[in-house]
A and B are shown apart, each in its own frame.
Chain A
């Protein structure tokens, strides 16, 4: 292993214009200094090594001094063995905030990370002297930093919740703040967490999709709808036009969040509208009134459509199981189901007429599927009846033929 690493290091060092005097020593230092072999290994797999950046580009020192330890490190003015968090920002920013440097590597790369960071809660905390606040390396890793779209990068979508939870789920680490530490646990079982972890949907929102990344901060209540609306655009559009938005804001509720929660957003189900304790509207509108009527109305539209679709589906499947071809009915079912999904979205308008008028197409499609399935089932009966009469004719003819043969003898 070591030999190979040395060889790689050597060949790389040739490639690095003979700058890697650091590696040739540090790779041998495992006995005295823990993990140096691993550090070198990590570094070699990272994006910085690939772009010919050497240890000294971050740690300073003189790599050309090779065996002379003092000259290479301790005597060199630029040498830094450990970097403070503030140092890190400055050091990473010295390249990453400089468009002239960065565009040499990736022409379209962003260079606003440090600026954004300074607006984040992490950045503000650090500025206020909180050394626990996360900086660049806490999220991106240290020596073996990978490109952000590398599946093994800590900031790749699947890995982000784990990366954030390294600090945010650690009760003792977070003790100095009043922030909760159950976000990861909640997220994991939420509709978004399931989409990300179980369905492996890279498009599913993870921590940074709501909180931002370099500018990480909780969204304020006025803008919750915009954040959710990044993906749930129809819900946002409808909600914005409803009377409910201003009401929630005036009461200090976080709009979408008021009903759906935040980290533990559950997959919505129709029973959330069923007027009883635990139903979404009931919590605030326990006194009934308009809210009760509306909730009941929405509930009945959705459950009626749903049961129509269920009836149609079972009839279509019945016909299918009887060997009938029902391809076209499946399209009707799909259409009805699509309208059902739209209806569930449409209730965010909190407008009964709007919801009703848009649900009609779904009822029609479900009805078309029922009619079609009934035709198929009728056809099935027709086949059996036809067979019955056909068998009758044949049986009759065979009997007569039998008699005829008997008489012929």
Chain B
């Protein structure tokens, strides 16, 4: 063990890396618990990588084989059910923790100078996470996924000018078919992981060199009043503890609340009742349903897309819009903006599930 370490140390300066990690300190205050969220998201992404790679060993894309191979995995392959359940549950928890991570960062104003780029890369990762969810949902090729994808990709078709083009690119044709499945598969297991890993690398690199952000009021405290602990081993061990707990929760969910496979997708079958997108798209889905057919001069769907595009852009560029944060002042406007957004998402999501 020791000699291996020495061997490595002679080549890649392990001492230096550990010294850096030990020197790096994590602030301790009421919000320290929020620091675990990014780590948990990272851990969930790692689970996704491992279980995803394992699923690829047996999964066969294609309209004739996708559903059958998933069925084969969950019924014939030993622990196949566990791998699939873990992948699905971990995916949902991933999106969930990414949401919370994003909002805690927002309310702590951690996006302010010098961390604008961390926020921007984080936002890109958020969008990629949603894309992961959307593309992965179709892969079992079951009825519900098929129709949810149909409805979901329809929305892309409503984008002005390029809608038709987008829809065809997304579906690899005019309809959701086996070609769409192949395309989604490629996006899900090759394109997205590739981009995600690069952006994630930048995101983590930025976090490492800039250290943890603290809210403005903590930052203003005199040095002696600010408590910290070393990143290594103290914080890392705590992180690890959180990961273990999350993994146990996933195992519980996988055993007690398995995801049903349901019937195989059939393009000619009538759409089943209760087609729903995944929960993290619910607030958008419900908004689009609530918008009247015509708003002013444009179609309701177009208005919805415009609404989400503008909203998304504001959210994306919030580090540049919130000038007060850079001066270390909490902007009441942006805080309320965030609170309003949280309430909006929660209410619309619940509403979506009630109807």
User: Which A positions have Cβ atoms within 8 angstroms of B?
Assistant: 323-325, 327, 383-384, 386-387, 390-391, 394-395, 397-398, 401-402, 404-405, 408
**Measured CA separation A394–B258 after assembly (Å):** 21
> With A384-B255, A387-B251 in contact, is A408–B244 under 8 Å at CB?
no
Q: Which residue of A lies closest to B258 (CB)?
A: A323
Task: Give 20 new A-B contacts, CB below 8 A, not counting A327-B75, A387-B252, A408-B233.
Answer: A323-B258, A324-B75, A325-B74, A325-B75, A325-B261, A383-B82, A383-B255, A384-B255, A387-B255, A390-B251, A391-B251, A394-B245, A394-B247, A395-B248, A398-B244, A398-B245, A401-B237, A401-B244, A405-B234, A408-B234
Nearest-Cβ distance from residue A306 to partner chain B, whole angstroms: 28
Asked if B223 is at the interface of the complex by the 8 Å CB criterion, the answer is: no
* CB nearest neighbor in A for B74: A325
CA distance A63 to B63 in the complex (A): 66
Interface secondary structure of B, over-half rule: helix
Interface residues of B in 208-251 (CB under 8 A from A): 233-234, 237-238, 240-241, 244-245, 247-248, 251
Q: Tell me, in angstroms, the Cα distance from A390 to B255 when the chains sit together.
A: 12
Q: Nearest B residue to A322 by beta-carbon distance?
A: B258
Task: List the A side residues contacting B241 at CB < 8 Å.
Answer: 398, 401-402, 405
Do A323 and B260 form a contact, CB below 8 Å, given A394-B245, A405-B234? yes
* A-B contact list, 21 entries, CB within 8 Å: A323-B260, A324-B75, A325-B71, A325-B74, A325-B75, A327-B75, A383-B82, A386-B255, A390-B248, A391-B248, A394-B245, A394-B247, A398-B244, A401-B240, A401-B244, A402-B241, A404-B237, A405-B234, A405-B237, A408-B233, A408-B234
Question: Chain A nearest CB: distance from B102 CB in Å?
Answer: 27
The 8 A CB mask of B38-68 against A (1 = contact, 0 = none) is 0000000000000000000000000000000
Point out residues on B near A: beta carbons under 8 Å: 71, 74-75, 81-82, 233-234, 237-238, 240-241, 244-245, 247-248, 251-252, 255, 258, 260-261
Closest Cβ of chain B to A15, distance in Å, is 42
Known: A325-B74, A405-B238. A394 touches B244 (CB 8 A): yes
In the assembled complex, the Cα of A325 lies from the Cα of B234 at a distance in Å of 45
- On whether the beta carbons of B248 and A394 are closer than 8 Å, the reply is yes
Complex CA–CA separation, A121 to B255 (angstroms):
72
Q: For the complex, give the distance between the alpha carbons of A386 and B78 in Å.
A: 13
Give the distance in Å from the alpha carbon of A384 to the alpha carbon of B258 in the complex: 12
Residue of B nearest to A387 (CB): B255
Question: A408 vs B229: C-alpha distance in the bound complex, in angstroms?
Answer: 11
